[in-house]
Amino acid sequence: MSGRIQAPRGTYDVLGEQALARDALERRARAILERAGYERIETPAFEATELFARGVGESTDVVQKQMYTLQDSDGESITLRPEGTAPACRAYMEHGMHKRPQPVKLWYLSSFFRRERPQKGRFRQFWQVGIEAIGSDDPAVDAEAILLLAEILEAAGVRARLRISSLGMPLNRLRYRDELQRYLRDNAARLSDDVVARIDLNPLRAFDSEHPGTRAVMEGAPRLLDALDREDAAHFASVRELLDAAGLPYEVDTTLVRGLDYYTRTVFEFTSDDLGAQSGVGGGGRYDGLIEQLGGPPTPGIGWAAGVERILLAGSLAHDAAPPLDLFVACDEPALRSEAFRLAADARRAGHTARLELGGRSLKGQLRRADREDARYVAILRVDGTALRNMETKEQQEVERDTVIHHIARVDL
């Protein structure tokens, strides 16, 4: 006997209440983002592997361990998108969006794929709501982006803490990197093997480590924020000023590092204590070198993404119930099936919710079902006429069949 096939590890089906909650989140996010001039973008679920290798960075966990990569039959290597920033930048270049007024503001709510160990709030296929504002390095774009995520989280009932920092521009970061590498090498004996192995490739990730020895060493490590040059420091000061002016509380965290390589200048993360180990609800930052990295002209950009599952887990988004049923069309006369079918369709076209018996129940069974589904009205089609029953008052009256919609609409008012 062969076993039953189940959804792959780290994936899940979206059903019932969960589907309603997602709809509600999408509606809220759309309203908030469109008010700020963001337009929807949907990129393909898979891209050339090189886009992520070059965009996200060879040294990141995402590229090294988590990508679902496959060889297409024509020999091309393709990867299920692990994130949305590199694809949005690819689309920006491919469609000549630099010719439009800058910045171009894009938002998405899409599914992404990472081969991670599944746990609460961590999946192998997950959804992100995210934005990318490409083409301006104005600190106001940074502050606005952060405010928008704060607004969405608030609307979803998520209590989250905001941490921000600045990584500076690459040249300055290189100088700082040398200094940090020297410090890490001097203290290598107390660091985890993982961190030691990455001293050359990605020393900043040492700030991310949970390893007690590493954490102790990192307490005394030089901080990037103290090493920013004048321009980067002024940019960060402006972002902070605008957030202060907007009254958004935040904490400057000099140890904040993000798991993706493309960040420059502003980085930020919202975390929630209601999530357990996977406390990151959403985060992002500036990526002023990414488009160049991908073969385009120097173009600044900033964005964020937030996990839909984590927002729903940590939040308390009120969502509408399924719309109430206005009309149930009951009939157990085979000769009247098409009449019944048409009445239900006409009622829906007139804007009502209407359902028809499709399960082959007896008339009694149909009435029981209409009751269970909380139908407001039941139309009972017989050969010799049509009865309309008001399910609240239990009153029943004979009506002309083609006046049923008129009746349910009239009482509606």
# chain residues binding ligand HAM, by CB under 6 A: 28
103 touching ligand HAM, by CB under 6 A: no
Strand order in the sheet with 377-382: 354-356, 327-330, 377-382, 385-390, 396-399
Return the residue of 103, 139, 203, 284 that touches ligand HAM, per CB under 6 A. Answer: 284
In the complex with ligand HAM, the residue whose CB is nearer, 306 or 381, is 306
- 302 sits in the region (left: phi over 0; alpha: psi -120 to 50; else beta) called beta
In the complex with ligand HAM, the residue whose CB is nearer, 135 or 285, is 285
132 touching ligand HAM, by CB under 6 A: yes
Provide long-range contacts, Cβ within 8 A and 24+ apart, for 35-41: 36/105, 36/144, 36/148, 37/105, 38/105, 38/106, 38/107, 38/131, 38/133, 38/148, 39/105, 39/106, 39/107, 40/106, 40/107, 40/108, 41/88, 41/91, 41/106, 41/107, 41/108, 41/132
Q: Which stretch binds ligand HAM (CB under 6 A): 24-32, 73-81, 114-122, 195-203?
A: 114-122
Return the residue of 87, 103, 307, 315 that touches ligand HAM, per CB under 6 A. Answer: 307
> Within 260-279, which residues bind ligand HAM (CB under 6 A)?
260
107 touching ligand HAM, by CB under 6 A: no
SS3 content of the chain, % helix, strand, coil (to 5): 40, 20, 35
105 touching ligand HAM, by CB under 6 A: no
| β-pair type (46-48, 69-71) | unpaired
Q: CB of residue 310 vs ligand HAM: minimum separation in angstroms?
A: 4
Q: CB of residue 271 vs ligand HAM: minimum separation in angstroms?
A: 8
Q: CB of residue 262 vs ligand HAM: minimum separation in angstroms?
A: 8
Contact residues for ligand HAM (CB under 6 A)? Answer: 83-85, 114, 116, 121-123, 126, 128, 130, 132, 259-260, 280-285, 287, 303-307, 309-310
